[in-house]
Amino acid sequence: NSIWVSTDHDEIERVAKQFGAQVHRRSPEVSQDSSTSLEAIREFLNHHPEVDIVGNIQATSPCLHPSDLIKVADLIQKEGFDSVFSVVRRHQFRWSEVKKGENKMTEPQNLNPAKRYRRQDWPGELYENGSFYFAKRNLIEKGYLQGGKMAYYEMRAEHSVDIDIDIDWPIAEQRVLSFGYFGKEPLKEVKLLVCSIDGCLTNGRIYVTEDQKEMVSYDYRDIVGVDLLKKRGIQVRLLSDRDCSKTLAAIQLGCTAKVGTANKLQVLEDWKKDMGLSWKEIAYLGNEESDVECLKKAGMSGVPADACALAQKAAGYICKSSGGCGAVREFAEHIFLLLEKVNSARKQ
């Protein structure tokens, strides 16, 4: 019924609201390193008597798909379970631990060494994977996330990712590329990147000399990013509200550009039609209110870190880099990562 982010951090609150979530500000008492999720949830319920079911989704499980959550919600709302939690099936043989200095031998925990199972002959065991915990209010108020009439929900192994230590991070990134959720429609090969010039390719600042000449600055990494896109067969075109033809001539990118345009979306639609592309085959990098409609239409959309709030809300990806400081190169690398997802899906 509603989506909330529980946090005590101003930046997390800002980003959560940009993407349409509501925010519950945690108190210092439940924001300690030793605080548990249950403590934060109980505090949330104290402020929201209208809530009768809580689905706690763990941010450390980035391969969770909405279809799983819909099925779990049905287990509680339609089938009468009090709590449902996620598990994954593993085929691992467990042995007892022998601490240093103990005069003991290890013992098998879930196997007979004389009759070891082959993986394909053994059903394995169910382990909690930490992706989510759903529970009714009355159970949580008693201090439990699991209890009453319980059910587990078995997730597919490829969707079961738990980031716990540093080494888990690169593994999770590759899992997301191969098995992550990218929306209902399949990704398509990007064939065109359209980039706003001022504030994306440049930092948006205009320097004026005493003889009234304008100067702008750009980052060489962004030029490399444009070249990499071209080498991958992706056309790059540029847009600007103002006439900055001299700037483009100085940078010498060799890209088709439309400057001094009052309607970026119309230009984008004309390019789309001329090239015979679908919106899914177009990526767009913008930073201002004039880019919002283009960001909403494009199959892939991004903004620099310092883009305006409306542009950030419309974009699918927010760069860590600011405009004119590597944002184009960063967005190009983001496109390449998502294209790996396309290629992986085709191979499968």
Q: Please say if 116 is a catalytic residue.
A: yes
* Given 25, 116, 205, 242, the catalytic residue: 116
Return the bridge partners of 108, or none: 95
Return the bridge partners of 194, or none: 237, 284
Show the tokens assigned to 218: 């750009």
Which sign, positive or negative, has the C-alpha torsion 89, 92, 95, 99?
Answer: negative
Strands (E), the chain: 4-7, 22-25, 53-57, 83-90, 125-136, 150-154, 192-196, 207-208, 214-215, 235-239, 256-258, 282-285, 300-303, 317-318
Q: Is residue 271 a contact partner of residue 193, using CB atoms and an 8 Å limit?
A: no
- The b/e string for 225-243 (b: 16+ C-beta within 10 A; e otherwise) is bbebbeeeebbbbbbbbee
Up-side HSE of residue 35: CA atoms within 13 Å toward CB?
Answer: 17
> What is the C-alpha separation between 271 and 110, in angstroms, rounded?
63
Show the tokens assigned to 328: 């184009």
CA 73 vs CA 5, 44, 237: distances in Å: 18, 19, 45
> What is the C-alpha separation between 280 and 287, in angstroms, rounded?
20
Catalytic residues: 116
